[in-house]
A and B are shown apart, each in its own frame.
Chain A
């Protein structure tokens, strides 16, 4: 299977709703990064985690290397949260990041 499996592929939310995205890894990863890709195609880093949990405003991310997953939680969704979200992980052998297929998030008023 895919080294990085990201779910769901798409997510529709109303403003103010909470939801989460998840990435499962086929092997042990040493770090994970979460990105938001905006409508201009720019990759914006949301989080970089080697372990544990980080929060930034309405976003929260967790990475569990042992259990091979990472999550991104969006709280109180806003219109500007719309975009495609990617997780990307680095394994112990390669320097390059392996990306998930992305989650297209649409926030509606």
Chain B
């Protein structure tokens, strides 16, 4: 059974539209992340959430907004889509413990977004 579900697997959108990428994890983790992999850039960290609160935001554009409705959900809303947003978006999760320094991150299968 997949432990981290990302939906949809593939997504095609038109420039200027808005899409939501879904991520659910069933590992019981308290921290979740979004990463992006495009043809032009290496895998890059976007956001991290811990206990449903934003911890780190490395995305310059406000068009990208994470949404956490439940502890094991972290969706990514992207507005005013541009062709440069075309990429595979990976969700990840980890178990962060107070006082613990290290935590392995587990990655979902990704959503491949193409903006025309």
- The one of B45, B96, B102, B110 in contact with A97, judged by C-beta atoms closer than 8 angstroms, is B45
Interface SS, B side: strand
Q: Is A50 an interface residue (CB 8 A)?
A: yes
B107 cross-chain contacts in A, Cβ below 8 A: 35, 43, 45
Q: Which of A20-28, A70-78, A88-96 contacts B (4 or more CB under 8 A)?
A: A88-96
Indicate whether A96 sits within 8 Å of B48 (C-beta atoms), given known contacts A42-B110, A88-B43. yes
A66 to B112 CA separation, bound complex (whole angstroms): 37
Q: Which residue of B lies closest to A86 (CB)?
A: B43
Q: Is B12 an interface residue (CB 8 A)?
A: no
Contact of B102 with A31 in the complex, beta carbons under 8 Å: yes
A91 to B40 CA separation, bound complex (whole angstroms): 24
- The one of A95, A98, A100 in contact with B48, judged by C-beta atoms closer than 8 angstroms, is A95
Contact of A43 with B45 in the complex, beta carbons under 8 Å: no
Within 8 A of B (CB), among A40-72: 41-43, 45, 48, 50
A30 to B101 CA separation, bound complex (whole angstroms): 8
A86 cross-chain contacts in B, Cβ below 8 A: 43
B110 cross-chain contacts in A, Cβ below 8 A: 41-43
Q: Is A101 an interface residue (CB 8 A)?
A: yes
Contact of A99 with B42 in the complex, beta carbons under 8 Å: yes
Q: How far is the CB of A77 from chain B (nearest CB, A)?
A: 24
Question: Assuming A95-B50, A100-B42, A101-B42, what are 17 further A-B pairs, CB within 8 angstroms?
Answer: A31-B102, A33-B105, A41-B109, A41-B110, A41-B112, A42-B110, A43-B90, A43-B107, A48-B104, A94-B45, A94-B48, A94-B56, A95-B48, A95-B55, A96-B33, A97-B45, A99-B42
- Residues of B in contact with A (beta carbons under 8 Å apart): 31, 33, 35, 42-48, 50, 55-56, 58, 88, 90, 96, 101-107, 109-110, 112
- Residues of A in contact with B (beta carbons under 8 Å apart): 30-31, 33, 35, 41-43, 45, 48, 50, 86, 88, 90, 94-102
Across the A-B interface, the 7 shortest Cβ-Cβ residue pairs: A96-B45, A99-B43, A48-B104, A95-B48, A50-B102, A43-B107, A31-B102
